A and B are shown apart, each in its own frame.
Chain A
């Protein structure tokens, strides 16, 4: 009853905010019906060898729709064959709407049994107590070995010494380049030890504004900023995370690197005319492009030759490490089954194979021999750069008010880009706002 009431209040609050903005179109997640309210199937009278009762688990995901629904379905089928008493009900939402729906479901007491979280949100949800502590389940499972996972990916999903998530997949960002454009201008291809200077020099030679060809494209946003900051040797926060430090000389150098290219070797928003960078690269209008390995599948049929290289560094190298975890809700009535599903989804040979064959995000498993089928696919020829990048990784700076901080940084970079403020003034202002979020 209480959860019903809480649910009603949450739904009402949400409804008002939605009605206030004239149909912003947020529908609450379809309730997981009986799951939350029904009494947990009590195994109190269990015989020594009980026939397992049928269990329905919900799994909520953003990474499957729309391109990989069939791949997920294949993993679900394989799991259900091994665990005939368990049915997995998949619910999907686009990344844009995913966290709104998830929050509403949790607030309403109808959280999905298992769901997906990216690293930034994992921090917030684990500290809120929304997640099931997997540590006892892991130690109670004789077949489970944590070293099956890529160690860094397993470690980031711990909080206060407890394991709250299993690493599902990872991805990173590389320098994509159009070989045809390099050949046409006689410019040497990027190498693994390029620095910003080499990139800029090549970009200047490759830019041909009369043909609408630009030498470089690097998104101007939070995720690029913390990375180029790391490449400049800067720190986003001070050591005890009480103050933002990204507005020092290194931060100014990093932000300037992003915004100074605009209009010179990189198109302005107006020059892009509403097309995004993906469309421009695919149209052969960008010689170099900073983007993620999730673009491989979409570039398979490109009409030009392309390859990838490690991103150039400044005083040091730094590469993104984006990881997704799968977690179980603290409210789930079936922790044991949820654990089995999470384990299967992240590390079973079946799931690993499906992910690699479909060029989905990469499974975060340690055994690199499993990746041979992935590595042998071309293009890109230099696919091993995906793994070389893991030698110097940087994870996103995370605070509780993550999306607000992301917006603050994005807005500051926009202001500097548009010339509304100097880089230093824009970063100073952003640092002040981020400091306020840390209190």
Chain B
């Protein structure tokens, strides 16, 4: 009897899930399986594919351009992650007050998140224009000669980090704000009675109780930053002289510009493995710092 009801339930659930399961299977799982097969082939789309075993994988791992892309991606993560987390936290703390027009501020900070990357990247490219951009103009007012943001290889990645953090602040802010509002007011009152100052309350109550939200934000942001692409494609196209070339940019170039589908597929599976590995490590480590309730 239980079995039959269980089956019924499962069938109903499947029915309701179908609108998202079918596209997922068709457009995500299917292509994933296909790309895994592709990664063992040499295929330029116009000639018949031929199997090459593990040559694509060994080729990618020995490719100096891929090594450079991995380093640049790591540089991006190291700059972007702290910036977007701390920035998002500061804004979330600021907005977690009883202010007038709070909803307006929240919307303003969230606006960049829903704006197309192409638009954001172009606007930042203008702001950071080395010759007549407003950022370098403002710097010149205080006597600083601004750098060649996206024309100088040393500054290309910092420019992209800046634009990326700005765009994603709103997302981090919303998640952390939800986390902050879930912390019961009683804790703060009790701590205040015990004589805890603002800093002590923040350190001992806010941060630990916010850790599940922080964990979620860090996992998602890290996965996204491994896949950084759109802003680079628009702002620098991987340049100047390859200074902002990242892994996904290399995948796209090899697949669609160089006609090396198998090579690109191998690269995406290596990226997938790296993301999976890092995320597993994060889940391991969470036991040490994430407190639930």
Contact = CB atoms under 8 A, between A and B. Distances in A.
B97 to A, nearest CB: 34
Interface stretch (A82-90, A153-161, A162-170, A271-279): A271-279
Given A125-B46, A268-B151, A418-B240, A9 B258 contact: no
Given A12-B31, A270-B148, A274-B126, A17 B131 contact: no
Contact of B148 (A20, A124, A269): A269
A16 interface: yes
Contacts of B132: 273
Contacts of B268: 16-17, 20
Interface of chain B: mostly helix, strand, loop or mixed: helix
A100 interface: yes
Given A15-B27, A103-B45, A274 B131 contact: yes
A425 interface: no
A107 B240 contact: no
Interface string A2-26: 0000000110111111011111101
Interface stretch (B32-40, B79-87, B99-107, B283-291): B32-40
B179 interface: no
B191 interface: no
Nearest to A100: B256
B271 to A, nearest CB: 8
Contacts of B259: 103, 124, 401, 403
Interface string B6-49: 00000000000000000000011011101100100000111100
Interface in B201-247: 227, 229-230, 233, 239-242
Contacts of B47: 128-129
B83 to A, nearest CB: 20
A21 B125 contact: no
A9 B34 contact: yes
A414 interface: yes
Interface residues of A, number: 42
Contacts of B253: 407
A24 B229 contact: yes
A200 interface: no
Interface residues of B, number: 45
Contact of A13 (B35, B227, B230): B35
A403 B241 contact: no
B129 interface: yes
B248 A19 contact: no
A112 to B, nearest CB: 13
Given A103-B46, A270-B131, A270-B148, A23 B230 contact: yes
A106 B45 CA distance: 7
Given A20-B268, A129-B47, A420-B153, A411 B34 contact: no
A107 B30 CA distance: 18
B241 A16 contact: no
A26 B256 CA distance: 10
B167 to A, nearest CB: 13
A22 B229 contact: yes
A20 B248 contact: yes
A235 interface: no
Contact of B31 (A13, A21, A268, A404): A13
B19 to A, nearest CB: 18
B67 to A, nearest CB: 14
A20 B265 CA distance: 10
B174 interface: no
A218 interface: no
B60 to A, nearest CB: 14
Contacts of A411: 239, 241-242
Nearest to A413: B241
B265 A21 contact: no
Nearest to A107: B45
Going nearest first, the 9 A-B pairs with the smallest beta carbon separation are: A273-B131, A16-B31, A103-B45, A414-B241, A269-B151, A270-B130, A270-B148, A107-B45, A12-B34
14 contacts: A15-B31, A20-B227, A24-B230, A103-B46, A128-B47, A268-B151, A273-B129, A403-B257, A407-B253, A411-B239, A414-B239, A418-B152, A418-B241, A420-B153
